[in-house]
Structure 1
Amino acid sequence: MSRTEQPESPFSGAPVVAGEDLWRGGARGSEALALLLPLATTCLAGLGALVHRHDRAAGRLRLVAASGLARAGAAEWADLPDDRDAAPALALRRGGFVFVVGDSLGTGAVGTAAVPLTGAEGAVGVLSVLTTGHGEPDEAQRSLLNVLAGWTAARLGGGPDTWPGAEQDTSPGPEPHASPGPEPHASPGAEPVTGPERSVPMGELTAALAEAVTSHDVVEAVAQFVLPPFGADGLVFQTLEGGRLRVVGSAGYPQDFLALLDGMPLADHAPIRDVLGTRTPRFMESRAEIARRYPTMRRVNEVSPKQAVAFLPMIASGRAIGLCVVSFSEPRSFSDEERALLTALSGLVGQSLERARLYDLEHDRARELQRGLLPRTLPRLPAASAAARYLPAGRGEEVGGDWYDLIPLSADRVAMVIGDVMGHGIAEAATMGRLRTAVRTLADLEMPPDELFSRLNDLVSDLGEDFYATCLYAVFDPVARTCTYSLAGHPPPVVVHPDGTVHSPDVAPDPPLGAAQPPFETHELQLPDESLLVLCTDGLVESAARDTDQGLAQLRQILPRATAETACFEATDEDGDIRCLEELCDSVVSALLPDHEQTTDDAGLLIVHARCTAAHDVACLDLPDDPRAAGVARQYIREQLGAWGLGDLVLSTELLVSELIGNVVRHAKGPIRLRLLRSRSLTCEVYDGSLTTPRIRHAGHTDEGGRGLQLVAAMSRRWGARYLQDGKCIWTEQDLPPAADCEGNRSRGSATSR
């Protein structure tokens, strides 16, 4: 076959341009350069590439091969002093990658990238590429260029008889010849280089690897752009962790075979041990060759679905991080061109995989942090069931400042909170954790929403001028059937009534926390029994295509259909209720964020099914403001608990209420009121007109009093106080007897399913 009849090079990029005078010398070196130049040019999307050989004795760089250059363009660098300020000489002196901006050879290039060809005794030459892109080559391109240079230096070996044109060292330097047409020129006497049926699309591959974020992305890029040109159908990425091989990605292999490989000790996998130990690829052309060279791999060889395998070391940051295995279902041979290309690609893939694994590690840590900051499960409360979703921004660390919570309060009341720290990332997540902890602490003090926001605003303000957070805090009272809430720069709640109608209050929110000035407004909603409260952050309803108001309008349109489809008002038990709420969350998210991977903001969603307390489970009595109050209360307790079937709790309840009323008579003021609430526990509340704080005293051995609240604490599951506008309420909770608890749940369950 003549030179003009040679098949088109399998590499994307300019054809090799070389005169016969450049190719005198070893065929091995000529073939290496024929492979190197177009691949290096394509790697950097350049105009052309050059290779110089270093003549140490003369202190000069001799041009031995070039591609994509006319004779006049290459002549200026045909013979370079090694102390000249040109890219090849600078790379030689510095011993590493250099990039020089400017069109040094008048070819229209933006700059020149150069790397030394390093042999056993130091730099033996330089590879240079004339670039056209803006700025320096990126990390992936530099990595591939270094891999190509290392492979070429190894092939040339640095000896004079392996370098094309080596015998001409005493001449001023050869001149490359321009190709008259698009056909590449082969070296005289060398067999034409044959390659994969189709060229590897280097531009698309490097772009895909540059954009790859996770290990899965790297696997997909290699499977899409590398396997087809070689006719390969199998791919495995394995990394070395603690002396064992871990499969981090694959394509074309069954899971049972991957399970056999994953976790295998390196000492038991001879081919990989050899490859990682020598950093040299191994090409096995048939299963018989594998069996012959590695008899200890018999079991793996027999169950493997592949016949021919290329074991390619992945080098990153100067160390072997693992292996890229490219495999074939049929036996095949590997040409020099294929071996060179696969070796070079493995270096590029290694850099990308190392970066992706670092992202995977940080991603896992971020997700663990997010899980630790958000509630792992939402409590199942007598007056509320709930489901929630947190969706991090589609691009980023998957950790941010959105949060939600459901907090049980006294008397079956429920606090609901959802918030959004401005920004996205680890710092915002840490701030979110602090705010969530603060909200839970303040909620335990039974603060109303406006007072809680005043305290929370101070906390955010103390974090600095750049910290802001929006928040919605609401308290649902199942006895009064009200929802009291405050807004700080946050979207309002949306209420879904049992008949399917949707209501969202039209209120103006206060500014975000950190920018607001107390006092905060308090708003109140009347809630029908079995209502749904839908709370969300702006990331759910706001996007590039719609503002917050439009998103809320779309949410209100979605909810009637979604609640009907998920049968949220038809559940007959608690498990079914939770399951319906989970399905409703999924429906809302998929409707509002159909392409979540493209979102740039975190999104939070909390849906609460609010159940009001039945009238027959609440009993109230106004008491006289004098010492008779305790006796009247005890009589009422005996009658009411008898009617509820809670006779076992009469004595303890009488004692608790007597102590609480006695404290009011001695230390506070009226009016005095008693309220009993039957739920999953028995709640006793004593109201008075004083704002004094009850506290447990440390009574001495000889003190005749001061032990009342100690007795209350000992006999109650929990107790506390909450403050009202005109007084306070002291409350206690007692566990119900098992039989009464079951009966009460059945009674309330039938009322809930109405």
Structure 2
Amino acid sequence: MRSAGGDAGRGWREATRVLDGVMIGALAVDGGGTLTYCNAAAVALLGRQREELLGRDIRDLLFEEPEHGAVEEVLRHLGTGQAWAGELPMVRAGGLVEPLATSWSPLTDGEGVVGALLIAEEAAGSGAHARRLAARLRRLAAVTTELLVAETVEAVSAIVTGQLADTAGATVSSLSTLVDDETLALIAMRGGRHGAASRWATYPLAASTPAGDTIRSGRMLVLRSSAEIAERYPTVESAADGERSMVCLPLQTTGGPLGVVTLSFPGRRALDAAELEFLGILADVCAQTLDRIRAVAAAADRESKLQFLADASEQLSSSLDYRATLRRVADLAVPWFADWCAIQLLQDGELRTLSIAHEDSSLVQLVEDLQTKYPPPRDGSRGAYKVLATGESELVPEVTDELLAVAAVDEEHLRLLRTLNFRSGLAVPLKVQDRVLGVITWVAGDRGRRFGRADQAFGEDLARRAAIAIDNSQLHSELRDVALKLQHAVLPAGLPKLDDVELAVCYQPAGRTDAGGDFYDVLPLDEGRLAVFVGDVMGRGVQAASAMAQMRSAVRTLVALDPEPATVMTGLDVVFDKLDMDQLVTVVYAVVDPARQQVRVINAGHPAPLVLGADGSSAEVTTSGTLLLGVGGGRREVVTAPLRDEDTLLLFTDGLVERRGEDLEQGSVRLRRAAVELLPPRALDEGLPMLVEAVRDPDRDDDVAALAVRPHRRG
């Protein structure tokens, strides 16, 4: 606050005289904290003569020494133009100190805050207390309503550190959220000591802090005095000078803890039980809102990743100039996925930078300087060379100042790291089968995402696609070779080895010179389940092979997010629309559950799978509503069929049963007759090729992909 003189000062002082007849204590102070006005009710409340009050410093006159810091903080708070209300111990006649209910409002002269109006009344009066409590609870209810309609984390942060804090009477407020299982990040703060937001940008959950204890316990933490705070947390800096009290509210949902809201009050704040209960409810609403916002953001992020993969796949498959293509892919990732991206390829035993993209083009040179002056250690202990040596990704969800200091070799190195704003990092290998061709590194800053496991899976998928493009470009120059290489690269190198489930696949290409579009995969899930799928992209050549790669990778990504059949197929519809494919694509997807002895199937225009009983019986798993991918206007059915121990599930492409000039039913009958080849005890990897040879078209006009799954008795 500043002092006001002349006409401006007289203006607001004269305005306070309207309070002369009010039956509640009213006092006014100037910018320096000197009492300039008090009404008759204030004189009666304090038991002092008016002459004793006017012209005196309010801190020395009405508050004991321990409360001076709290009054100073309230005055600073008013200087920002914001009001404050709460109970403070005040000195009355005879040196009696009693808590009074106070409400402070800034006084302005049109140019800024030049004083404060203090309304004070008895805190203990039941009627007045009930009215104040009711008013405060109404304001808290209004805050709850604001939280319920908030659409962004920024909006929640503003409500929590602004409206909630003001309503509760806190002068310092903060919101921290978990960025991983071990780290809290301060995402919003109002008030507090200079530099506190920077010092507490991230801090370990395991440290002895009020926020950490609140999250670990899952219970509200109430500390009623500075002495209590200091005794319990002697190494944690106080929010401000003087007497203080604080409340920490855990933010948690059924899925686990999300973060904590911390409110710090000047003086010894006595919170009513009803207020504490309401604050707990409000914290629950805040947690649910954050959870909802994150769920919406995660869904949007998944859709964005699918679209990015589609765009990147188009770029990667559109040219054999892998250097230019990778530069475009790096540019696509910035700033949507990361603040900057670097792509390095292995050449002559050394990683050489191919492309750098940064959201701020002026910092590209700094990234180059960093990689030139301070290359990662070539011993493979960390960084890009570790990824190169192991073929495994390196994920650092949260890069703290401490980590930067440890990683830096000198002050210049640390300066570069800080300038480039390292806050989260992800490095993935450009890997084809067992060969690592290079490394893609993404870095996010303060405002960017914090990379997690889902981001790692996405990055590895993209890197795998990029590696395939590099490998194809390096090894093949003719169109046929490129198409065949892509086709074989995107098909699984092998099936997983499982204890209680036998698997076999038979893939036989058509007798033509170019590649087809059949694809398949087996993905182990939790609880012993398996996700299996077989699909067919109509057509041949580079376009069919590219579309096959896109669809198989899309299925794998969707399964990683949520393996439910309906969810996966809905996601494939979105991918198909985003890719704007000209080819028709059919696919059948199933989740095998040996423990429940069942299989759940959903179909998009593909031949129905066959369940072959151990007793020689056979049954098609037919579904209603088998719309092709990308065709709207209907629904697909998820069908559950029994799949007992030693039964066999057979998924296949139409090349197995179709022959030119022949009715499809004839092929189905031929398949059932040949199914004897798959009866136990014959092994699937022996019987499946025999079945395919017996059933398929001898002219080999189409590719054939057949996948067999047989659960065994456990134990």
Q: TM-score by structure 2 length?
A: 0.32
The structure with the larger Rg is: 1
Q: TM-score by structure 1 length?
A: 0.30
Q: Which has the higher contact order (CA 8 A, sep 6+)?
A: 1
